[in-house]
Amino acid sequence: MPVIVVANPKGGVGKSTLSSNIAAYFASQGHAVMLGDIDRQQSSRLWLRLRPPTLPAIQTWDISKDQMARPPKGTTHMVLDTPAGLHGKALEAAVRLADKILVPVQASVFDIYAVQAFLEDLASRKHASKVELAVVANRVKDHTRATEHLLTFLQTLDVPLLAQLRDTQNYAHLAAHGLGLWDVPAAKVEKDLAQWAPVTRWLDA
């Protein structure tokens, strides 16, 4: 079962947005998906509550009597949304579970320094060598110095940059209804689906 972890220790970089859209993509492909929220804000769990029952199903954790969280029976794909400040034993556990880790980063000096330290921390983890790692530039505004600075930085990393996802209200409007890009007519989100194409290829590889 592939396990995709979306992680960055900095808050507000779009982890829940990416996680929910990855889950929506897998569901649209007919997979039995679990979206697990290990963020205290429980943004992904809220998104699941808003999701219309007529759409392809996405499950969350099964909580047993002993309070252990497990994927529901039959789950084929798991997506984990992680909290800000992820480090130490929690990070180690996430790395141990993950097949792939996707790191969203935004165009600010604070994000750049945070993700640089995080990637160094990830590389030092015991199970890091088995994990496929990639970065997404998130909420990108074209033709700005901040974006140019971010892209220059990301090109120095030994980690693939999968995509530049634009800063658009589409994500907020969809999230408010428990939707992902693959839950609406493609013509309405054509530009965003095109930007996601390399991400979905990476997910499927």
- Reading the block at residue 39, the tokens are 């963020």
Q: Domain-by-domain residue ranges, the chain?
A: 3-204
Cα–Cα dist 150/190, whole Å:
25
pLDDT score of 40: 57
CATH of 3-204, picked from 1.10.150.120, 3.40.50.300, 3.30.420.40, 3.20.20.120, is 3.40.50.300
Cα-Cα-Cα-Cα torsion 17, 171, 163, 139, nearest 10 degrees, comes to -90
pLDDT score of 64: 55
Q: Strand 132-140 and strand 33-37: pairing?
A: unpaired
pLDDT score of 54: 96
Which residues have CB under 8 Å from 134's CB, separation 6+?
100, 101, 102, 103, 159, 160, 161, 162, 202
For residue 202, give Cα distances in angstroms to 2, 10, 57, 147, 184. Answer: 12, 23, 22, 23, 22
Tally Cβ neighbours within 10 Å of residue 190.
Answer: 11
Cα–Cα dist 171/64, whole Å:
33
pLDDT score of 128: 82
pLDDT tens, N- to C-terminus, the chain (205 residues): 999 999 998 888 999 999 999 999 999 999 999 998 875 566 788 899 999 999 999 999 876 555 557 888 999 999 999 888 888 888 888 888 899 999 999 999 888 888 998 998 888 888 888 899 999 999 999 889 999 999 999 989 889 999 999 999 999 999 999 999 999 999 999 999 999 999 999 999 9
pLDDT score of 68: 56
23 in helix, strand or coil? Answer: helix
User: Nearest-CA neighbor of 132 among 187, 177, 95?
Assistant: 95
